[in-house]
């Protein structure tokens, strides 16, 4: 028996790419899936029936699924994803925030409308759906939430300031909700994926990718095992897992002990010990609260 049998799973942006791969795998393992997708283009324009097609594929394989075509960037639409899960299946156990779009430009050339839209879809959309799911999960004392971040936010990527800012913003949300969710057994983790999808195919230099027939070594299904792990009974919380091409690793924030210049600190005294301040050779994971105060 799969541990996901009869679990209720909502996946945003599941009409194709990574979200579709997650939805198919959860359904194959007996989960009841809410397939959300607005069905628009890769830059967020329009709407369509992508969610219906995935639901039909799941049902044809003997699985259980329903479609939701709301936009995650709309508060009411985001809430409707959770409402549909509860109305149809009685609860929500797992939420995978995956919906996203791209509008790549250098920061110098980027219209602020493109900045706002990416923040709305990626960061606000993730927060809106999670906010709707949070009370359901906390009340039942169980929940698993995955937020799809990106190496573009964690490490940076040329021409993706809006996307990177939104994706890095998710890490702050993950860190806080992992703390707040502990007493309710609601575990919150992040995914930094790498796969051939229609979003990736819009990036300059990668136009030759065929998201409908991706090469086996960059197939979205190779990311899905990390999602299942982060949604499992024994999932960690507050972690960021990088996944792609069958490789999996953990990304974390490290801090060194730094220097303590005391109340007489000056620019000159800082310069005198800047190398020690910047030295990360003995850094450890996490924040050293004994040396730094809350800001």
Q: Are 213 and 201 spatial neighbours (Cβ–Cβ below 8 Å)?
A: no
128 catalytic, yes or no?
Answer: no
- 53's enclosing H/E stretch is helix 50-60
Identify the residue whose tokens are 């003995």: 282
Enumerate residues 6+ apart whose C-beta is below 8 A from 101. 40, 42, 43, 44, 117, 118, 121, 122, 199
Question: Residue written as tokens 């005391």?
Answer: 262
Phi and psi (nearest 5°) for 203?
Answer: -75, 130
- Choice among 128, 142, 155, 163 that is catalytic: 163
Q: What is the spatial distance between Cα 182 and Cα 201, in angstroms, rounded to a whole number? A: 38
Which residues 6+ apart lie within 8 Å of 193 measured at CB? 18, 148, 150, 220, 223, 226, 242, 243, 244
Report CA-CA distances (Å) from 133 to 80, 90, 140, 162, 252: 10, 13, 11, 26, 26
CA distance 52 to 24: 13
163/116 Cα distance (integer angstroms): 10
Interatomic CA distance for residues 193 and 148, integer angstroms: 8
Element containing residue 158 per DSSP (H, E) = none
Q: Where in the sequence numbering do the catalytic residues fall?
A: 163
């Amino acid at each position: 028996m799969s541990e996901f049998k009869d679990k209720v799973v909502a996946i945003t942006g599941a009409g194709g790419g990574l979200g579709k791969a997650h939805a198919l795998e959860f359904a194959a393992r007996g989960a009841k899936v809410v397939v959300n997708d607005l069905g628009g283009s890769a830059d967020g324009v329009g709407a369509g029936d992508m969610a219906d097609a995935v639901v039909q594929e799941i049902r044809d394989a003997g699985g259980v699924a329903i479609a939701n075509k709301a936009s995650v960037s709309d508060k009411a639409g985001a809430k409707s994803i959770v409402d549909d899960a509860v109305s149809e299946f009685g609860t929500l156990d797992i939420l995978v925030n995956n919906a996203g779009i791209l509008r790549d430009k250098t920061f110098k050339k980027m219209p602020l409308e493109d900045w706002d839209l990416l923040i709305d879809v990626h960061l606000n959309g993730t927060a809106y759906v999670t906010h709707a799911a949070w009370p359901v999960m906390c009340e039942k004392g169980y929940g698993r939430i995955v937020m799809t971040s990106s190496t573009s936010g964690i490490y940076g990527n040329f021409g993706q300031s809006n996307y990177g800012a939104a994706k890095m913003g998710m890490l702050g949300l993950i860190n806080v909700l992992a703390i707040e969710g502990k007493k309710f057994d609601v575990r919150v983790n992040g995914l930094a994926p790498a796969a051939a999808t229609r979003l990736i195919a819009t990036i300059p230099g990668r136009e030759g990718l065929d998201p409908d027939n991706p090469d086996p070594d960059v197939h979205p299904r190779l990311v899905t095992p990390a999602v299942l792990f982060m949604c499992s009974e024994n999932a960690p919380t507050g972690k960021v897992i990088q996944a792609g091409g069958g490789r999996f690793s953990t990304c974390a924030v490290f801090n060194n002990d730094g220097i303590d210049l005391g109340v007489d600190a000056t620019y000159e005294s800082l310069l005198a010990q800047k190398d020690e301040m910047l030295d990360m050779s003995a850094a450890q994971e996490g924040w050293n609260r004994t040396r730094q105060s809350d800001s």
